[in-house]
């Protein structure tokens, strides 16, 4: 397991940019809400801890993970944000639905990163069981929402340095 011996949710604020001057869009799937709320809270508290102002963190909800693509595109087109974070959770079931949704969302997020000059950060859990998702949204393997917020800050810094 990739994060079993290293909890990537522990970060050093000295190694990432201060968030006080940035605006963030976060699109959250309502499907598997127990998990996506944990991811959102992890990201929100991390951004605040790193200096973001609460009013500069804009949250939109969408019904499911597949709709994250449309929500993120709308954020890119309608809001002045420095990064968009998408949060969802797809848990494998008995049908191919899991594979179709996971691949579609992944490709959609990749497309948004190619289309827009503002980073789209992928925070969609794709687990085999509910317990695995719980473990990654504030459980024993940390919180991928925290990691997404840190990634957003680092990508904003990269984006600003390449556009200077």
Burial class of residue 140 in the structure, from the number of CB atoms within 10 Å of its CB (0-12 exposed, 13-18 middle, 19+ buried): exposed
For residues 105-124, one letter each, b for 16 or more C-beta atoms within 10 angstroms of the residue's C-beta and e for the rest, the string is beebbeebbeeeebbbbbbb
Contact (Cβ atoms closer than 8 angstroms) between residue 144 and residue 104: no
Active site residues: 97
- Secondary structure letter of residue 156 according to DSSP: H
């Amino acid at each position: 397991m990739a994060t079993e011996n290293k909890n990537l949710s522990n970060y050093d604020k000295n190694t990432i940019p201060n968030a006080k001057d940035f605006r963030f869009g976060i699109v959250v799937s309502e499907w598997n809400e127990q998990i996506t709320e944990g991811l959102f809270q992890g990201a929100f508290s991390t951004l605040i801890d790193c200096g973001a102002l609460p009013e500069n963190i804009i949250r939109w909800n969408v019904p499911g993970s597949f709709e994250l693509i449309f929500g993120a595109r709308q954020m890119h087109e309608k809001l002045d944000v420095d990064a968009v974070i998408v949060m969802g959770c797809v848990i494998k079931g008995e049908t191919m639905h899991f594979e179709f949704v996971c691949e579609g969302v992944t490709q959609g997020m990749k497309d948004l990163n190619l289309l827009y000059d503002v980073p789209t950060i992928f925070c969609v859990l794709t687990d085999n069981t509910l317990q695995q998702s719980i473990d990654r949204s504030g459980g024993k393997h940390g919180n991928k929402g925290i990691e997404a917020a840190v990634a957003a800050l680092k990508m904003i810094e990269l984006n600003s340095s390449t556009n200077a």
